[in-house]
Amino acid sequence: MKRLNANLSTLASAVLLSVAVSQSAIAADGFYVGGQVQSSTFGHKIERNTGSSTNPSITSFAEETDVAVGVHLGYKMHVTDDAFVAAEVFYNAENSETTNINNMLQTRLDLESTYGINFKAGVDVTSKFAVYGIAGATVLDFDIHNSYPFAPPMRSGDTTEVGLSLGAGFEYQVDNQWSVKGEYIRINDVDFTPLPEVAVPGKINPNDVDYDSLKLSLSYAF
C-alpha cells in the first residue's frame, strides 16, 4: 500500500508538473518574427481565340510546383482567453516556372517572388496547440516570355498582380518564445494582361494565374 501511495504521489506530481510546463508554453501576445520553407504551385491559363475554323479557340493550362523560402513579421493578440487575432507581413523568394503552349503560342511564366499581408483569427485548442483561418492579399511578381515552339523567345516582360489569399493553419508552441506553424494558402483566378502575341501585333488573350502553397514556418515571439 505504501508503495502504491508513493507511485500515485509520483504520478500526481508528474501530471501537475506537466500541466505547469504546458501552461508556461503559451507565448505572450506581441510581435514575432521568423522564416519559412514552402511548396509553391503556380498555374497559368490561356484562353486563345484564333478566329479561324481550322484553328479553333483553345483554353490551355499548365502548372509547376517548386520550393520557396521566405521571412515573416507579425503581431498576435488574444481577444478572449482562448480566441486570438494576428496580422502578418511576409516575403517569399519563389522558383516556379510554367510553360503553357496554346495552339502555336508558347508563354513561359517565371514566378520571382510573392509578398503581402495575411490576417488570422483562431482559437487555442490546448495550451500548446492552436488552429486558425487566414485571409489576406498576396502580390505575385512574375516574368512573361512569349514565343513560338519553332523559334526562340521573341518578346519578354514582367508584371505584378494582387490576389485574395484564403487558407488555414495550425500553431504548436514549443516554449514561451518559439513556435512551429503549418499553413495552406490558395489564390484563384488572378487575371493579368499578357504580352501581345509575337506574330500578331496588338493581339491580347485572356490570361489568369492560380497559386497555392503548403508552408512550414518557425517563429520567435518577443
Alpha-carbon 182 to chain mean position: 10
Q: Which three cell numbers mark 82?
A: 482562448
Domain boundaries, the chain: 27-221
- The structure's pTM equals 0.81
pLDDT tens-digit series, residues 6-21: 443 543 444 344 444 4
The sign one gets for the Cα dihedral 167, 107, 152, 158 is negative
pLDDT tens-digit series, residues 173-189: 999 899 999 999 999 99
Q: Does domain 27-221 have CATH number 2.40.160.20?
A: yes
Query: What is the pLDDT averaged over residues 36-53?
Result: 86
What count of other Cβ atoms lies within 10 Å of the Cβ of residue 168? 15
pLDDT tens-digit series, residues 132-191: 999 999 999 999 998 887 776 688 999 999 999 999 999 999 998 999 999 999 999 999
**Which is nearest to 105 in space by CA: 145, 76, 134, 71?**
145
Rg of the chain taking only CA atoms, in angstroms: 24
Is the pLDDT score of 95 beyond 70?
A: yes
Amino acid at 103: N
- Amino acid 209: pLDDT: 97
